[in-house]
Amino acid sequence: MSPRRAKPAPRLASEILRYFLRNPQAGDNLEGVTRWRLADQRIYETVRTTEKALEWLVGRGFLVKESKPWCGDLYRLNTGMLEKADYFVAGEPDLKRDVDEK
């Protein structure tokens, strides 16, 4: 198969396309797309994924979310859940099942 006909990795092609969909006026060369645009897209996706994980932890009581006008939402450990948090992080099967059911 010639290099022009080689199929790109679907995930990478999707990441590139997502970036351009979020930024329809963007334009860059190969190196620019590789260095800056993909990094920006991955950071964007990581922020979204992290936000979902934080909300999940707040919903299960492991973290407390406090909204501050000067810096937005702050997250901290719910010290009343230390033991359960330790079990969860250690992979305690019964706790993971119980937490997943909430």
pLDDT digits (tens, 9 = 90+) for 21-56: 888 888 888 888 888 877 888 888 888 888 999 999
Distance CA 60, CA 37 (A): 35
Question: In this structure, what token pair is assigned to residue 9?
Answer: 């990795």
The model's confidence at residue 1, banded by pLDDT at 50, 70 and 90, is: very low
Q: Domain coordinates of the chain in residue numbers?
A: 9-59, 61-102
Q: Which amino acid is at 7?
A: K
**DSSP readout, 9-59?**
PHHHHHHHHHHHHH-TT----HHHIIIIIHHHHHHHHHHHHHHHHHHHHHH
Residue 62, pLDDT score: 95
Compute the distance between CA of residue 17 and CA of residue 11 in angstroms, rounded to an integer.
Answer: 10
Beta partners for 68?
72
